[in-house]
Amino acid sequence: MMTKTCAELFQGFDHTLIGDADRKVSGIAYQSNKVEPGEAFCCIVGLKSDGHAYAQDAVDRGASVLIVERMLDLEGADEVTFVLVSDSRKAMAHAAAQFYDNPSNDLALVGITGTNGKTTTAYLVNSIARALGNTTGLIGTVGILIDGEELPAEHTTPESCDLQCLFAKMRDAGCSVVAMEVSSHALALERTWDTHFAVTAFTNLTQDHLDYHKTFEAYFEAKRRLFSTDYPAKRVINIDSSWGERLVEDALEQGDAVITTGMAENADIHPVRIAYDVARTRVVLNVQGTVLEIEYPLVGRFNVENVMTAFGICLQLGFDMRDIAHALENVAAVPGRIERVTLEADQVSQRAQDISVYVDYAHTPDALEKAIASVKQLSQGRTIVVFGCGGDRDATKRLLMGEKALEADVVVVTSDNPRTEDPNAIIEDILVGMRGHEERFSVEPDRRLAIRQAISLANPGDAVLIAGKGHEDYQIIGTEKHDFDDRVVAREELASLG
């Protein structure tokens, strides 16, 4: 069993230790009901509860060390060592990194942040690195991969204890390159503290998570942390927005190595010419003055942006640009990102064969707008979109989602993951942004019936975009998860279409 002493765990971290500095620690926990005897329990001051309230339960379960922001009077704690800190989240992240011998130092770790594009960019980096002979790891929204083996993911960016444990597993599995999504929540909550990145990348910033961050500037400041001196690294920054330009200014002031990407010619990596097809894209890229023609199996303008970001990351990792271009030709598809729903010809009617159906994770105004635009580029007929908004999340984006949905020719408004909110109330919030266009949309709260309606409305040559849930195979209603996969439902409805 791996153990570390308290002194080893907190070496180099500002703390006051009360008790035995040589006390052995066999693990670190932040949920008291998961504490094992001999482990340290970190009393996190959370968003909804205070971990200090669970310290007694942790001691009763055998915790030998408590990481606290204030001293506690507990029963049976005579032999417990207290580590008093000013920030329990940073302390936990530091202790976890020390416990696993700072595994990120042994990885070429890539951190990707931004509102949209993180998952696809991480997948692209993972795919390119593997194609070029590297053992890789991947951490993100869709899941976790360690040398191709898939593990489930509860958060886009895991809690620091879990994250450092994953890094250790990846190091021990021989991973040399690891691509991970870094959410704004993770940065604000110090989940990546004491993590060493080789490259950090920024995709874009559009409205999301304002229920947590409150203001756009606070949301940006959370993302900005990944490009600060707290996380020294090489940088790849999309400069299509003023947010990216601000990050470039920061990076240059710090003396960081920066590669910029964007649609404009002043970006280090930018497109010269783009041709879209239903299943592939051909693009001529100017890469730091070298012109390269690339064809890859992803569609849409926004994926051109993701490809450029991944290209810049791989350059910063030291890969040859022509090798990167070659590897992109056969990159793996990303689940639920403009994923086309198909069936064998003998399983569907001719009418169904002539309708294109796509599933995408777009759940922000900007992502929905870009997804609709991408599908329009691939279709000769009308574009029909099915979408809803999640409950217990940023409500201010709902009317904006309604406005953006009108970029499609026909809209079916439905339920997404309502969670503990009334689905009809969420829909009413969406419809505020669609007033005056009643002839363009309909409402069907039942998501399966909404998908059925959209597909039945489609004529040959039309395209249907089912947006919001992407790779998710569940729908959260109340506090329960119900089996529901847009891709599966779409296939079933296509198969039954006469």
Q: Which of 99, 127, 159 is the last residue of a domain?
A: 99
Together in a domain, 94 and 107: no
- List, in order, residues 6 or more apart from 495 with CB less than 8 Å away: 343, 347, 348, 352
Reference 233, options 191, 202, 265; nearest CA is: 202
**Domain residue limits at 75:** 4-99
Q: Is residue 324 part of a domain?
A: yes
Sequence length of the chain is: 498
Q: Is residue 333 part of a domain?
A: no
3-state secondary structure of 42: strand
3-state secondary structure of 342: coil
Query: Residue 351: how many CA atoms within 13 Å on its side-chain side?
Result: 11
Together in a domain, 183 and 228: yes
Reference 458, options 346, 363, 375; nearest CA is: 375
- Measured between its terminal Cα atoms, the distance across the chain in Å is 62
Q: Which of 99, 128, 160 is the last residue of a domain?
A: 99
User: How much is the pLDDT for 46?
Assistant: 82
DSSP string, 171-208: HHTT--EEEEE--HHHHHTTTTTTPPPSEEEE----S-
Q: Is residue 420 part of a domain?
A: yes
User: How much is the pLDDT for 419?
Assistant: 96
Does residue 436 come out as left (phi exceeding 0), alpha (psi in the -120 to 50 range) or beta? left
Q: 234, 256 in Cβ contact below 8 A?
A: yes
User: How much is the pLDDT for 456?
Assistant: 96
Together in a domain, 110 and 250: yes
Q: Is residue 334 part of a domain?
A: no
Together in a domain, 380 and 282: no
Across the beta sheet with 383-387, what order do the strands follow?
A: 339-341, 356-360, 463-467, 383-387, 410-413, 441-443
Q: How many domains does the chain have?
A: 3
CB atoms under 10 Å from CB of 70, counted, come to 11
Distance CA(223)–CA(209), nearest Å, equals: 12
Together in a domain, 95 and 112: no
Together in a domain, 93 and 108: no
| β-sheet bridge partners, residue 42 | 67
User: How much is the pLDDT for 10?
Assistant: 97
Together in a domain, 353 and 235: no
Tokens representing 420 are 């503990």
Reference 379, options 468, 465, 437, 294; nearest CA is: 465
CATH code for the domain of 301: 3.40.1190.10
CATH code for the domain of 367: 3.90.190.20
Tokens representing 226 are 């990944």
User: How much is the pLDDT for 334?
Assistant: 86
Q: 88, 42 in Cβ contact below 8 A?
A: yes
Distance CA(97)–CA(5), nearest Å, equals: 13
User: How much is the pLDDT for 214?
Assistant: 62
Tokens representing 417 are 């993951």
Residue written as token pair 């910029």: 260
Together in a domain, 179 and 274: yes
Together in a domain, 154 and 238: yes
The pairing of strands 16-18 and 81-84 is antiparallel
Together in a domain, 363 and 485: yes
Distance CA(367)–CA(207), nearest Å, equals: 10
Distance CA(373)–CA(27), nearest Å, equals: 49
- List, in order, residues 6 or more apart from 46 with CB less than 8 Å away: none
Together in a domain, 258 and 364: no
CATH code for the domain of 84: 3.40.1390.10
Q: Which of 68, 99, 130 is the last residue of a domain?
A: 99
User: How much is the pLDDT for 34?
Assistant: 96
- In the chain (498 residues long), the average pLDDT of successive 10-residue segments reads 94 96 96 96 90 97 97 93 97 98 98 93 97 97 92 84 97 98 92 97 77 74 94 98 95 98 97 91 97 95 95 98 97 87 84 92 91 90 97 93 97 97 98 97 98 96 96 95 97 90
